[in-house]
Structure formats: structure tokens, C-alpha cells
Amino acid sequence: MRGKYVLIVVVLLTLAFGVGRLSAAPGTLDSPASPDSTSSYTLEEIYNRLNDGTAGAQSTFTEPSSGPGTGTMHTLNQIMDKAPAADNTDGAVPAEVLTGKTYWSLRTDGSGGSSWGLETGTAAAGDNVSGPEGARTFTIPDGFYAGSKTATANDSDLAAGNIASGVSIFEVTGAAIVATGDATASDVLTGKTFSNASGAGIAGTMPDNGAVVITPTTTNTVIVGGYHNGSGYVVGDADLVAGNIISGVEIFGVSGERHGGCVCTGVLNGTRWCDNEDGTVTDLTTCLVWLKKADWGGLKPWEDCENHDDVHSRVAALEAGAAAADLSDGSEPGDWRLPTLRELDGLTYGSEAVLASTPRAFTGVQSSHYWSSLAVGMVAVAWDLDDAHIYYCLRSDSRLVWPVRGEQ
């Protein structure tokens, strides 16, 4: 190891004083004579050159007048710290330095044609950047580009008014409204113009119908194509209500509730009988209102001249709240009467006839004779519900009573 340090000292002294100053006879380290007058750099000047690029000046060797004293210059280690070190990873190669420019290469591996020491760059200087007319992209040649180069790819049309609203191109935010849509001339009112995806300034052809008024009829009415200003209407009719329409018929979405000229506001039994839920039942084919309890009147003579307890007095006394009648229709004495023969006949004929076996909405229907209001001489006419026949009975005979009255 000692020999290695001696060799380093010799090299450094050679750098400091020149080879001529240290020459000696072969085989000895002793100087044969004092250094000649050859000028050289000192170690301190070498340090300054490495540290900050100071040029330094050569000087002539002067024999020291005394022995070494306290050192004032930088040490050899400090000088070595300032010397560049090899860098084969990040050290530049000639192709990375502008052509004609010199630099100190730190490469020792020969990469890119470089070697340790002073080198000259070979990278070409780039020219102004431009591309083919109308090209969206083009190739930028390799080379160095200084900030003073002019980019001829600039375009004065790169302005907000030329870019669609909501779109940003090279940090220029567009403000132009781009015509879109698929409307056609027939979709736009005549006299107005519009734009769509295929063009601008297109004239509309839709007819202007203004306010259109339509009156319903028994046939469909054609709605004319075109623009309607919203003031038109379809004529209405206050009489278009369920109570004015026969049951089973629908007019403009309104289903009828009237049966034979009357309306069921209670519970419909089949299609003919309406339980009014007040002790009465309405025949929707005749609008006659019958007492729901067909057995309430009991058995009475048609005429009782002595006691006056006959069908006429029985019916005349019937009113809302009458005993056992379950009647709450608001009727008063004198509102009720005996049915005619035709009315009794109507009960047992037609759709949904009433019989003892099929009482419909009634209760207490008897399989027997019911008095009618018809009398001939000493006899009166009764009607049998089950066999639908007329019976002539003495007025003193007892038969059933079933009161009836007109439409409520």
C-alpha cells in the first residue's frame, strides 16, 4: 500500500511542477539539481480551476527559504473531490448535445461514440415547425428547438366563435352554437325558419290552424293536421251524465245508469230490480216503487163496509216508520196504493220475473193471490203470482196486499 501512495504523490507533483522539474537519473528519486526556470501551475490553481473555472497563471519555481510550515492550500483529497467522476448512466453522448458545441464527456464506456474528455456535440438544430395544408397531425423532426423558433402551425381560425360551445381545443373554449336536430319542414310552422343537422335557414311548412273547435257527433271527426294555438276545444254538454244514459250504454266514456227511464242509486239486483235500501224496491223497467216486504199487508178483504179493515185502509195507512214495514223512504199516508192488474201482471212477466221461488230483491213473496185495484160488481180481481192467472173473488174474500207507488 505504501508504494501506491508514493506513486500518487509523484503523479500529483508531476501535474504541479512539470515533468522536467522532477527528472532524475534513472534508478534514483533524488533530484540531480534544482528545478530549472520552466513555468507551471500550483496545486491551489488546479483546485480553483476545478472548483469555479478560474483560469490561473503559471509561475516560475522558487527555492523555498525555509522548511515546510503550516499548510494554507487545499489538500489533495479536496482537489480530487472537485475532479469529475465517470458517469456511464446519465453522462451525455455527442448526439444529445447541439452540433458544434463542446462539453466534457463523463462517459468511459464508448456509448454513442463518446469517450472521457472534451467532446463536440452532433445534435442537429431543428427548423421552424410546419405541416401539410389542412393536416390535423404531422411529424416534428428530431433536433434542438430554441424558444425563439416560430411555429408556423398557428391558425388564426382557432377562435371561440369557430369552436362548438362546450368544446375546448388547445385551451380555447368554444362559443359557437352548432345546429343539430332532425326536424323537417313539415314539423315547423309555416313562415318560420329553422336549422337542423343538415343545414340552416330551412323554411317551415306546417299549416297554422289557430283555434279549432270540435263538436262531437255520432261519427268520428277528423282533427286537421298542423299547428293548433291551444285556444281550441271540444264542445261539452252538461247533460252527459250517467243518469241521462240508459243502462248498458256508454257515451264518450260515460256509462249509463238509467233503467227504463229511472236511475238506480241503491243496490242493483240483476239488471231490473233496484234495492233502494230504505224498505222499497224499484222496477227499473217501469220505475214503479214497491214495498220490499211483500207479506207486510197480510190477508185482507177487498172491501169491509162494517169495520173498514180492508185492503184500502191497510194501504192508506202505510208510511215511513209504519209498524213492521221496515220503511224509511220518507213516505206519508196516502202515498201508497193498490197495484193495477197490469202492474201485478208485469211482476210475473218479462225479464227477471218475480215469483215466490224467485223473489229477486224482495222478501216475503207468497205463492198465492194478491188483490188488484180492479173490481166488477160484487167481485174484485186478484192475481196469482205463481201460476200467473186472474182470479175473480168476492170483495169479502181475504187476499194478500202488496202496496205500490209511483217513481220517487
The full DSSP string for 298-362 is: -EEES--TTT--SHHHHHHT--TT-TTT---S---TTS-BPPPHHHHHHHTSSTT---SS--TT-
Distance, in Å, from the CA atom of 244 to the CA atom of 259, rounded to the nearest integer, reads 10
Quote the cell numbers at residue 132: 401539410
Q: What is the pLDDT of residue 150?
A: 55
Q: What is the pLDDT of residue 146?
A: 63
Position 19 pLDDT exceeds 60? no
> In what order do the strands lie in the sheet containing 369-376?
299-301, 398-400, 369-376, 379-384, 389-394
Quote the cell numbers at residue 91: 453522462
Q: What is the pLDDT of residue 60?
A: 75
125-135 residue pLDDT tens: 776 666 555 45
Distance, in Å, from the CA atom of 106 to the CA atom of 109, rounded to the nearest integer, reads 9
The mean predicted confidence, pLDDT, of the chain is 82
Q: What is the pLDDT of residue 23?
A: 41
Position 224 pLDDT exceeds 80? yes
314-352 residue pLDDT tens: 999 999 999 999 999 999 999 999 999 999 999 988 889
What number is the average pLDDT over the span 365-377?
Answer: 94
Distance, in Å, from the CA atom of 199 to the CA atom of 206, rounded to the nearest integer, reads 18
Q: Give the chain's length.
A: 408
In this prediction, what percent of the chain has a pLDDT beyond 90? 33
The pLDDT confidence band at residue 69, using thresholds 50, 70 and 90, is low
Query: How do strand 289-291 and strand 379-384 relate by DSSP bridges?
Result: unpaired
Q: How many CA atoms lie within 13 A of 287 on its CB side?
A: 9
Q: Are 301 and 397 in contact (CB under 8 A)?
A: yes
The number of angstroms, rounded, from the C-alpha of 35 to the middle of its chain's C-alpha atoms is 99
What is the identity of the amino acid at 69?
G
Q: Which residues contact 126 (CB under 8 A, 6 or more apart)?
A: 140, 141, 142, 143, 144, 145, 149
Q: What is the pLDDT of residue 191?
A: 85
Position 381 pLDDT exceeds 80? yes
> Which has more pLDDT, 192 or 39?
192
Q: Are 43 and 17 in contact (CB under 8 A)?
A: no
73-110 residue pLDDT tens: 788 888 888 888 888 988 899 988 988 899 888 898 98
Q: What is the pLDDT of residue 31?
A: 55
What number is the average pLDDT over the span 303-309?
Answer: 93
Quote the cell numbers at residue 303: 172491501
Q: Are 43 and 79 in contact (CB under 8 A)?
A: yes
Using CB atoms within 10 A of its CB, is residue 138 exposed (0-12), middle (13-18) or buried (19+)? exposed
Report how far apart, in Å, the C-alpha atoms of 346 and of each of 228, 354, 389 are: 56, 9, 12
User: What is the helix, strand, coil percentage profile of the chain, to 5?
Assistant: 15, 25, 60
252-295 residue pLDDT tens: 888 776 666 788 999 999 989 999 999 999 999 889 999 999 99
Position 382 pLDDT exceeds 60? yes
Q: What is the pLDDT of residue 340?
A: 95
Using CB atoms within 10 A of its CB, is residue 218 exposed (0-12), middle (13-18) or buried (19+)? exposed
What number is the average pLDDT over the span 21-41?
Answer: 56
What is the identity of the amino acid at 169?
I
What number is the average pLDDT over the span 64-80?
Answer: 74
Query: Which residue's C-alpha cell is 513555468?
Result: 39
